Structure 1
Amino acid sequence: MRRRRAALLTAVLASLVTGAAYPRGSDGPPPSATTSDQRGVVRGAAGPISGARVTLWRAGDDSRSGARELARTRSDSRGRFRIDHRVLKDPDDAVLYLTADASQAGRRAAGRTRPVRLVAVLSGGRHRPRVVLNERTTVAAGYALAQFTRGGEVAGRDPGLRNAAAVAHNLADVRDGGVARTLADAPNGDETSTLRAFNTLADILSACTAGGRCARLLELAARPGSPVPRETFQAVADIAALPGNNVAELYALADGRRTYRPRLGRAPDAWTLALRYVGNGHELDGPGNVAFDARGTAWIGNNYVFDDDPRNSVCGSRVLSRLTPTGRAVPGAPYRGGGLYGVGFGTAIDPRGRVWATNFGFQGAGCPIDAERFYRSVSEFGPGGRPLSPPLGWRQGKIVQPQGVLSDPDGNVWIANCGGRSVTRIPQGNARRARNIAPGGDRLVKPFGVAVDPRGRAWVSGNGSDSVMVLSARGKPLRSVTGGGIKRPMGVASDSRGNVWVANSGAVVAPCEGTTPAMVAEAVVDIETRHVDASVTMVRPDGSTPARPFVNDGLFLPWGVAVDGEDTVWVANFGGHRLANLCGVRESACPPGLRTGDPISPSDTGYTSDGLERNTAVQIDPSGNVWLANNWRDVPVQTNPGGHEMVVFVGLAAPVRTPLLGPPRPL
């Protein structure tokens, strides 16, 4: 009898090795023409995980509806599983993911507590006949889906959730549990520390899956004021959403663990994951700003013609880039025509999906073209990239060296004329009716950034007048706001309650009205520490300001500013390789104890990344990813000073409905 049992066991094991047999989903339907099967393996740092409850989920369509279980099974002695499930009627619209729940290694889970939850995202790419669930795939899912994960379940609105699921595949390859190509290869890979941070996070997770230190991991991952997560997937999502929390203590959990390499040699400033995106690899050169359309694709204007060599003189870019939410060039992009030339800080999308790009006339030293022929226009493109403006752009409204641009909800387009001390208003996007608005005198010098508040009023920063001009919804100048620390302001952004946030560079003189980019480079290249006047000012709806601006060492030549779906504030810096996050007026959305203007990011560094260079714009996409433009290189050689990447912090902010039409709207 014992020999028979031994022979039977040998036969079963042999079939598993060859892949001929997988355990079937105990609760799933029998295979048929209307069903499909998903196979895979559950594996931790210590090896295969047997007896894990593996569940296939369809994510909820919004935050009020939970995820729906489609099928479940258990992993066998080698961690393998097979789930049979019904084919969905709308597979392209669904976000599917797998969870594997198990007790920590070497212990039984008390009652129903199963602290180990490994996850793999299935949607966001082509069908994967076999998947691996491990610590890497769990970190990828936890970060990409951080803004859509509550209580270990995933739910959210389209396109934010669907795009977020696709971004998970930029971090981990669920086919083998390894590192995804986007993260592994240049311009990421060994060129930045993100790959090492990703692997270290996986090692931290393995302290629970293999080492039994689950209680400590869950305790450290918990966000202040929030419940302690019950399992590892929610723990990762909580770390991603507040990456500056318990940084060193979390790093210590990885001591002695070397499963995933390469890894960090010391604790970072924060547990952020920042990816560089380059589109087709030969189009981004001096990206100035980014605007997201209703599907979450990113439209980007460029300063210069692409050239890798900063010593080669380049002229103004004549292309408008468009990237997918995962950083790849949209088929057919980049787009040309419509008068594009050397776009700066101005890229915006109106309610009809039309794209507006301001032609500042940027070009490198030595370019033989006279920029004055081109810097008096704005270009307009249709939602599919077809140019709608004439070959020299729209020139009505006395446009001169335009920088910031934004559309309001009624389709009125507002343009800051950096070289003209004025604003151009295009009523309902009809460029032939454009009107120039000049407040007169020195009330608005070097207009740069534009914001629109909930009342439809336009707020325009005056970089040369240390002011912010307020205009009525129809364009009448109302007041000039000064004081409150406003000094050399660049970007401005409105929150949902009508407050306007101003990024005070303190030192950057906008390159217009007689100031050249070379002068800007000379002024900022030697600034090695945070400039004393770098700050952020909040202007209230009535035009008043606090007595002092908000200051912390996460601010270093502040340039761009954005507000997310929970009214927290994000600041891009032209120096210091850092992103700052401030508590906004909705203090309930901030960690307990913080007040308006307090830093959420580490106060002495901000969220740093060696993938950043000199950044101008910052914007939030519908998935909660924070995009920054690497506009200039650290040492901006003026023949071609442009940077070549968009840098995206994954899952860091509250998602925003796009396109951005004035103040942010939660997704």
Structure 2
Amino acid sequence: MRLRRAALLTAVLAGLTVGASGPGGPPGGPPAGHGVVQPAGHRVVKERGVVRSGDRPIAAAEVTLLRAGDRPGAGARPLARTRSDAQGRFTLSYRAPDSPDAVLYLTADAGPAGHPHHRTGHRVRPVRLVAMLDRGKRHGKVVLNERTTVAAGFAMAQFTRRGEVAGSRPGLQNAAAVSHNLADIGDGSAAEVLSTAPNGDRTSSLRAFNTLADILSGCTAGQTCESLFALAARPGAQAPKETFQAVADIARLPGSRPAELFALGQGRNTYRPRLTEAPDAWTIALRYVGNGHELDGPGNVAFDAEGTAWIVNNYAFNPDPLQPACGSRILSRLTPTGRDIPGAPYRGGGLYGAGFGAAIDPEGRVWAANFGFQGTGCPLDASLLYRSVSQFTAEGRPLSPPGGWRFGDIVQPQGTVSDREGNVWIANCGGRSVTRIPHGNAARARNIAPGGDSLVKPFGITVDTRGRAWVTGNGSDSVMLMSPQGEPLRSVTGGGIKRPMGIASDTLGNVWVANGGAVVTPCEGTTPAMVAEAVEDIVTRHVDASVTLVRPDGSTPAKPFVNDGLFLPWGIAVDGDDTVWVANFGGHRVANLCGARVSACPPGLRTGDPISPADTGYTSDGLERNTAVQIDPSGNVWLANNWRDVPVQTNPGGHEMVVFVGLAAPVRTPLLGPPRRP
């Protein structure tokens, strides 16, 4: 299994990055020897490039090729150094590392030397331009400019400290690959993924990206460096001393001082198109569509050990909302850069109209809950198709029979999770029960029904630090706690729990509940059309939209957490720093709250306080109506565009996954209960 996964990472992410850094050496000459590591390798490689700001070459820049550290806190190792000539050109020779996991990057340091570097003692120069190298694609030259620096800074934000890049596999490698979705290092332009549909002029991300590059150009010109570093500084932390670290700091806390940063770029038009007014936060969100004709009502996503994204869909793809769509019979699987894995999407195993249920167990097997979603006008009888769960191997081969696994009285299944022991838990939205599959053995599935009205319309499910399962009851305004063996222990009410949807656990034993307020799950007599009608006229945050913290003993604070980043909350996730992320079915926004581990939050915040802007959350015009939110091993935040803004019920599905680049603390995957740092 490990060998197959290693081979998969190499094949799928053939365009990964590799890097190195340092000063010295004549332009175009051999690498300077002082301080440069020359590990044994199979071949000597020459890297040619140019350093520039816009069309202006930057001469005498100290160009360094670095290999990123292979674990958090490890130092990046310089492999070669030189200096750019009068036209900004340089040539480096180095021995290529043997490891296919090596991540290499180029830095170009320019400007007057300032403070000494914390490790090397070298004087830090304020302008540091960076390009992540792409091992899967050879270029005539590599361009380092402000665009490539913004791309590297955002994609590597969770792996960059004090200007150096380091991190664990596969998150580090995947993040390096994502940088090439933002900038083309061959010519310094915006990358094709960012600059064309479904991105490009359809969202504001390209304009935000170019505006950030313009903001950097003021420092490159020697005019705004001190202001940039002061504004980019994270509260309570030391201000960055060079431009690459400044970008990474902005990416990790993008809602800090957005208007002031925007003002630094006023009057600069090097990179176009650009924003005409300040955003609420400096986020970059990319839409991914796989092969372009597979996603229709994506409901949830689960990441495997290599960080590839397994996505369940409500509907069979059809771009026309007026054409009746039956339930989806495919399981999508995307690379971390949003492309189809070879052979995907997968079919079979009884898949039909999966909703919120997607999980991966400790063996890498994939589980999809068949809710039976279909648009109005589909001639099929969904009641014959919504009583199963589908199971696939890590390679996408169906393990369940053509009708799916039907043990354990599954009825309109929604939330689905695996715990660390491989037990699979399924919330039966139409059955007032939970199905527990011991160690993934479907034939031993058991139905657990607490009885009465204690668990009505079960929807979301999570497993805590003790292996206990917590299930939201959307129709009973409650959360049910079950023992690791599935025994109902207690029903939790109060604390603002109102029409709860998603639920997630943290590393301290707490669980977090997304209170939909006006959202009624479409099961047990409620149809999707009724859901659409209930939310149709809600144009501002609903009074009951909130998040509730439930402590390990089942107690809750007196009041839930509320801010205007919460707009019909649906999915919820906890990242590697225990901060909380909430997907919204309205408002085109995702919210980020300070979790119970307050030390990981910006200074002055308490549990439940918004980290994202309190008035808006992190917005994006690439978002529609979102159900799921999940965090990948690179710290990218994935959301499912499940429904269109105006959901015509013949085929209401959205067609994209939306990925906020570098925004969250990375999570080890697959997710098996509380998050773990990679």
Give the corresponding residue for 1:608.
Answer: 619
Which amino acid is 1:67 matched to?
A
Whole-Å Cα distance in 2 between the matches of residues 558 and 451 of structure 1? Answer: 17
Which amino acid is 1:334 matched to?
P
Give the corresponding residue for 2:70.
Answer: 61
Give the corresponding residue for 2:28.
Answer: 22
Q: Residue 313 of structure 1: CA displacement?
A: 0.4
> Per-residue CA shift, 1:211-253, capped at 9, x if unaligned?
4210110110000011111100000000000000111100000
Q: Residue 539 of structure 1: CA displacement?
A: 0.1
Which amino acid is 2:337 matched to?
T
Q: Residue 35 of structure 1: CA displacement?
A: 1.2
1:598-637 residue pairs with structure 2 within 5 A?
A: 598-637=609-648
Whole-Å Cα distance in 1 between the matches of residues 96 and 331 of structure 2? Answer: 40
With over 3 angstroms needed to count, the CA separation of the structure-2 counterparts of 1:396 and 1:253, relative to structure 1, is: same
Confirm or deny that 1:98 pairs with 2:102: no
**Match of 2:654, SS?**
coil
Whole-Å Cα distance in 2 between the matches of residues 33 and 582 of structure 1? Answer: 48
User: Which runs of no fewer than 5 residues in structure 2 stay unpaired?
Assistant: 1-26, 117-122
Q: Any conservation in 2 of the 1:122–1:128 contact (CA below 8 Å)?
A: no
User: Which runs of no fewer than 5 residues in structure 1 stay unpaired?
Assistant: 1-20
Instruction: Name whichever of 80-89 and 652-661 sits farther off.
Output: 80-89
Q: Residue 36 of structure 1: CA displacement?
A: 1.1
Whole-Å Cα distance in 2 between the matches of residues 211 and 57 of structure 1? Answer: 25
Give the corresponding residue for 2:155.
Answer: 144
Give the corresponding residue for 2:7.
Answer: none
TM-score for both structures, normalised by structure 1: 0.95
Give the corresponding residue for 1:84.
Answer: 93
TM-score for both structures, normalised by structure 2: 0.93
Give the corresponding residue for 2:565.
Answer: 554
1:486-505 residue pairs with structure 2 within 5 A?
A: 486-505=497-516
Which amino acid is 1:205 matched to?
L
**Match of 1:521, SS?**
helix
The one of 146, 150, 156 aligned to 1:135: 146
Q: Over aligned residues, Cα RMSD in angstroms?
A: 1.4
Q: Any conservation in 1 of the 2:39–2:97 contact (CA below 8 Å)?
A: no
**Match of 1:234, SS?**
helix
> Per-residue CA shift, 1:101-138, capped at 9, x if unaligned?
011xxx66577230000000003632334100000000
Whole-Å Cα distance in 2 between the matches of residues 476 and 124 of structure 1? Answer: 52
**Match of 2:356, SS?**
strand
The one of 286, 302, 312 aligned to 2:313: 302
1:243-322 residue pairs with structure 2 within 5 A?
A: 243-322=254-333
Give the corresponding residue for 1:3.
Answer: none
The one of 130, 154, 168 aligned to 1:119: 130
Runs of 4+ in 1 over 4 A off after TM superposition: 28-33, 107-111
Whole-Å Cα distance in 1 between the matches of residues 40 and 252 of structure 2? Answer: 40
1:438-453 residue pairs with structure 2 within 5 A?
A: 438-453=449-464
Give the corresponding residue for 1:428.
Answer: 439
Confirm or deny that 1:218 pairs with 2:229: yes
1:564-583 residue pairs with structure 2 within 5 A?
A: 564-583=575-594
Q: Residue 157 of structure 1: CA displacement?
A: 0.2
**Match of 1:603, SS?**
coil
Whole-Å Cα distance in 2 between the matches of residues 79 and 591 of structure 1? Answer: 40
Q: Residue 666 of structure 1: CA displacement?
A: 0.7
Give the corresponding residue for 1:14.
Answer: none
Q: Residue 526 of structure 1: CA displacement?
A: 1.2
Instruction: Name whichever of 205-214 and 631-640 sits farther off.
Output: 205-214
Q: How many residues align?
A: 643
Q: Any conservation in 1 of the 2:113–2:124 contact (CA below 8 Å)?
A: no
**Match of 2:391, SS?**
strand
With over 3 angstroms needed to count, the CA separation of the structure-2 counterparts of 1:651 and 1:124, relative to structure 1, is: farther
**Match of 1:502, SS?**
strand
Q: Residue 525 of structure 1: CA displacement?
A: 1.5
Give the corresponding residue for 1:35.
Answer: 44
Q: Any conservation in 1 of the 2:130–2:148 contact (CA below 8 Å)?
A: yes
Instruction: Name whichever of 30-39 and 144-153 sits farther off.
Output: 30-39
Confirm or deny that 1:231 pairs with 2:242: yes
Q: Residue 294 of structure 1: CA displacement?
A: 0.1
Q: Any conservation in 2 of the 1:402–1:417 contact (CA below 8 Å)?
A: yes
Whole-Å Cα distance in 2 between the matches of residues 602 and 234 of structure 1? Answer: 22
Whole-Å Cα distance in 2 between the matches of residues 32 and 59 of structure 1? Answer: 16
Q: Residue 23 of structure 1: CA displacement?
A: 3.9
Confirm or deny that 1:588 pairs with 2:599: yes
Q: Any conservation in 2 of the 1:94–1:123 contact (CA below 8 Å)?
A: no
> Per-residue CA shift, 1:633-660, capped at 9, x if unaligned?
0000000000000000000000000000
Instruction: Name whichever of 122-131 and 111-120 sits farther off.
Output: 122-131
Whole-Å Cα distance in 1 between the matches of residues 293 and 115 of structure 2? Answer: 55
Whole-Å Cα distance in 1 between the matches of residues 639 and 29 of structure 2? Answer: 46
The one of 43, 68, 81 aligned to 1:72: 81
> Per-residue CA shift, 1:548-568, capped at 9, x if unaligned?
000000000000000000000
Give the corresponding residue for 2:404.
Answer: 393
Q: Residue 88 of structure 1: CA displacement?
A: 1.5
Q: Residue 459 of structure 1: CA displacement?
A: 0.2
> Per-residue CA shift, 1:515-554, capped at 9, x if unaligned?
0000000111111111011000000000000000000000
The one of 366, 374, 394 aligned to 1:383: 394
Whole-Å Cα distance in 2 between the matches of residues 47 and 30 of structure 1? Answer: 35
Whole-Å Cα distance in 2 between the matches of residues 108 and 490 of structure 1? Answer: 54
Which amino acid is 2:303 matched to?
F
Whole-Å Cα distance in 1 between the matches of residues 274 and 600 of structure 2? Answer: 32
Whole-Å Cα distance in 2 between the matches of residues 539 and 626 of structure 1? Answer: 24
Whole-Å Cα distance in 1 between the matches of residues 41 and 534 of structure 2? Answer: 70
Instruction: Name whichever of 33-42 and 186-195 sits farther off.
Output: 33-42
Which amino acid is 1:156 matched to?
G
Whole-Å Cα distance in 2 between the matches of residues 591 and 623 of structure 1? Answer: 21
Whole-Å Cα distance in 2 between the matches of residues 329 and 618 of structure 1? Answer: 20
Give the corresponding residue for 1:518.
Answer: 529
Whole-Å Cα distance in 1 between the matches of residues 232 and 488 of structure 2? Answer: 49
Whole-Å Cα distance in 1 between the matches of residues 580 and 410 of structure 2? Answer: 30
Q: Residue 89 of structure 1: CA displacement?
A: 1.4
Which amino acid is 1:55 matched to?
T
Which amino acid is 2:561 matched to?
F
Give the corresponding residue for 1:417.
Answer: 428
Whole-Å Cα distance in 1 between the matches of residues 144 and 223 of structure 2? Answer: 18
Which amino acid is 1:41 matched to?
V
Give the corresponding residue for 1:177.
Answer: 188
**Match of 1:465, SS?**
coil
**Match of 1:647, SS?**
strand
